[in-house]
Amino acid sequence: MRNYSDIDKLIIKVDEILNIFNIKSSGRPYPAKKIEDSELSKEDKKLVTNLMRVNHAGEVAAQGLYIGHALAAKSSSQRKMMLEMASEEKDHLLWCEKRINELGGRASVFDPVWLVGSIGLGILSSFTSDRNALGFLEETEIQVAEHLQSHLKRLPENDKKTKIVLEKMKADEEKHSNTAHQSGAQEIPKPIKKIMEYTANIMKEVSFRI
C-alpha cells in the first residue's frame, strides 16, 4: 500500500472537498498529450514547476469561486452558467496537476486555504446581485488571462508542453470573461479591482514557494 506524505494528504483533502460539490471535468483532453517533453535544465525545471504550482493554486481558487457563485446564484440560469464554467476550470486544474506530476513537483500546501477562502469570496461577491457576481467574475478572468500571459513570457523557450497548456487555459479564461460580460456583468469599482490584484499577488507569491 502507498504511504502518503503529509503534502499528499493535503492534496487529497482538496479533492475530497471538491468531490462534495461534484464538479466534473468537461472531459477535454490534456492539450500537451501529443507533445514530446523537451530536455529542461535543472533550473528551468524548477522554475516551471514553481510557475505551474502557482497556476494550479489559481485553478483551485477558481473552483472555489465558481462553487461560491453557484451556491449564491439568484437565478437557475446563473447557477447553470457557473457550473458549466466550473467544469472547464476543472479541466485546467487537472491539466496543471498533470504538468506538475510530469515535472516531478507537487502542489501548494496552502491549496485547502485557497479553496475555502475562494468559496467564501464567491458567495460574498454574489451577495447583492447576479450582475455584481458576473462583474467580479469578469474582472477575475481578465486578471487571470493577464497573469497567464506573464507566465508564458517567463517559460523557457523549449518548454513546448507547458506553453500549449497555458495558451489553452488563457483562451478559456478570455472566453469566460467575455461570457460574463455578455451576460450583463456590472463593472466593479476600481478600488475592489486593486484589492483583488493585491490578494491574488499574495497567493501567487506564497504558492510559488510552497
Residues forming the site for Fe ion (CB under 5 A): 62, 89, 92, 141, 173, 176
Question: Of 62 and 115, which has the nearer Cβ to Fe ion?
Answer: 62
- Per-residue cell: 11: 492534496
Question: Of 44 and 174, which has the nearer Cβ to Fe ion?
Answer: 174
Q: How far is the CB of 92 from Fe ion (least distance, A)?
A: 4
Q: How far is the CB of 34 from Fe ion (least distance, A)?
A: 22
| Among 146, 20, 121, CA closest to 61 | 121
Question: Of 40 and 188, which has the nearer Cβ to Fe ion?
Answer: 188
SS3 27: coil
Q: How far is the CB of 114 from Fe ion (least distance, A)?
A: 13
Backbone phi, psi, residue 205, to 5°: -60, -45
Q: How far is the CB of 176 from Fe ion (least distance, A)?
A: 4
Euclidean distance between the first and final Cα of the chain, in Å?
Answer: 27
Cα–Cα distance measured from residue 76 to residue 117, given in angstroms and rounded to the nearest whole number: 24
User: Is 144 in contact with 88 (CB distance < 8 Å)?
Assistant: no
Question: Of 89 and 97, which has the nearer Cβ to Fe ion?
Answer: 89
